[in-house]
């Protein structure tokens, strides 16, 4: 009996861990690039997150967060950078359809007996939601080629779109966890 309680507790913890709202992060890397050669960074003149002719609040928060992440890795901000940083935040409508067996009760063949009838059609739940994806691009300024891209999709990017001042640091930090290089520090 004690083993059964332990197994139930372990299963519950696994289910709760699966429900955590961590974004899914993936990266695209140009394998032909020597990331150790990069020392400095800057930002593109007009970020992909800016749709008007001015710098948005979202872009400002993303720039601050990216600066902290890159400086923590030994890169220096420069007016003539080795790497240019750009951001894109994409939002798209997503429809999720789930089917489940009907749970309607019916009056069965036996007198005063109610039960589940498996012959009812499946019930469908249709949920409309927005899917947000944040891209952080690093571009080699000499070749004008994308050398690294970090992409995050999930609830954190929804929060970022709604409140960039509170969530930009976390979103960018989670993307840069997948960036394994440090700049060579000069003395």
Strands 114-116 and 123-140, by their bridges, are unpaired
| Domain spanning 23-96+129-176, CATH architecture | 2-Layer Sandwich (3.30)
Mean pLDDT, the chain, integer: 77
- Domain-by-domain residue ranges, the chain? 23-96+129-176
How confident is the model at residue 20, as a pLDDT?
Answer: 44
Span 167-180, average pLDDT: 90
Residue 143 DSSP one-character state: T
Q: For residue 46, count other CB atoms closer than 10 A to its CB.
A: 14
Taking the alpha carbons at both ends of the chain, their separation in whole angstroms is 64
* For residue 44, pLDDT beyond 50: yes
Q: What percent of the chain has pLDDT over 70?
A: 67
Alpha-carbon distances, residue 116 vs 100, 104, 111, 177 (angstroms): 13, 6, 15, 50
């Amino acid at each position: 009996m004690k083993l059964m309680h332990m197994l139930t507790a372990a299963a519950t913890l696994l289910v709760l861990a699966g429900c955590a709202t961590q974004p899914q992060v993936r990266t695209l890397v140009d394998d032909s690039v020597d990331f150790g050669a990069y020392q400095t960074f800057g930002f593109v003149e007009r970020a992909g997150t800016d749709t008007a002719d001015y710098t948005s609040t979202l872009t400002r928060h993303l720039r601050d967060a990216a600066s902290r992440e890159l400086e923590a890795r030994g890169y220096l901000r420069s007016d003539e950078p080795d790497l240019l940083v750009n951001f894109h935040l994409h939002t798209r409508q997503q429809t999720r359809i789930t089917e489940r067996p009907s749970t309607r009760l019916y009056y069965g063949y036996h007198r005063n007996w109610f039960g589940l009838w498996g012959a009812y059609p499946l019930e469908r739940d249709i949920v409309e939601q927005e899917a947000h994806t944040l891209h952080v691009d690093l571009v080699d300024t000499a070749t004008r080629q994308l050398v690294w891209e970090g992409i995050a999709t999930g609830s954190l990017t929804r929060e970022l779109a709604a409140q960039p001042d509170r969530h930009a640091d976390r979103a960018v930090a989670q993307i840069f966890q997948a960036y394994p290089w440090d700049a060579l520090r000069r003395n």
